[in-house]
C-alpha cells in the first residue's frame, strides 16, 4: 500500500478485515484448538509435548471408559507439571475441594465398612 502526503493528512479510510479466531477448545473440524485461551499456558510451556500428547490421546479415545488407555501420557504430563510448580500451580480452591471430597469419600468408606461389620455380626448372632 502506498500513501501520498495528502493521504496522510486526513484520517485513514482503510478497513482491515477481521480475522476470525476459532472459539472454544475444539475447532469446527473436531481437532483440538491449541490456541484456545481455555487451555492456559499448558500447550506452550515446558510441558507442552506431554500436555499435548495426553490431551490428544484423551480426545481420540474410543474406549468405553474414555481416556483409560492414556494413563502413561497423563502421568508423564503430571510428572512434568510437578517439575514446574510455579508455572503449573494447582488452584488452592481445587486442592481444598479435593481434600474435602477425599474426606467425604473416606467417611463413606468407613460407614460402609461399619455397616458390613454390623450386618455380618447380626447374621452370625441370629444363627
Cell of 112: 460402609
Backbone torsions φ then ψ of 32, nearest 5 degrees: -75, 135
Q: Provide CB contacts within 8 A for 48, sequence distance 6+.
A: 42
Residue 69 CA, chain-centre distance (Å), reads: 17
What pLDDT tens digit does each residue of the chain (127 aa) get?
Answer: 677 888 778 887 778 787 776 678 899 899 999 989 889 889 999 999 999 999 999 999 999 999 999 999 999 999 999 999 998 887 655 555 556 655 665 555 554 444 444 444 444 444 4
- The DSSP letter of residue 53 is H
**CA dihedral over 26, 27, 28, 29, signed as positive or negative:** negative
Amino acid at each position: 500500500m502506498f500513501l501520498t502526503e495528502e493521504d496522510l493528512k486526513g484520517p485513514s479510510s482503510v478497513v482491515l478485515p477481521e480475522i476470525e479466531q476459532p472459539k472454544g477448545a475444539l475447532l469446527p473440524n473436531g481437532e483440538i484448538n491449541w490456541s484456545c485461551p481455555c487451555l492456559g499456558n499448558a500447550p506452550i510451556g515446558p510441558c507442552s509435548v506431554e500436555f499435548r500428547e495426553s490431551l490428544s490421546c484423551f480426545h481420540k479415545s474410543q474406549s468405553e471408559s474414555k481416556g483409560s488407555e492414556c494413563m502413561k501420557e497423563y502421568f508423564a504430563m503430571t510428572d512434568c507439571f510437578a517439575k514446574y510448580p510455579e508455572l503449573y500451580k494447582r488452584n488452592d480452591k481445587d486442592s481444598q475441594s479435593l481434600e474435602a471430597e477425599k474426606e467425604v469419600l473416606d467417611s463413606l468408606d468407613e460407614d460402609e465398612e461399619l455397616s458390613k461389620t454390623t450386618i455380618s455380626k447380626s447374621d452370625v448372632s441370629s444363627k
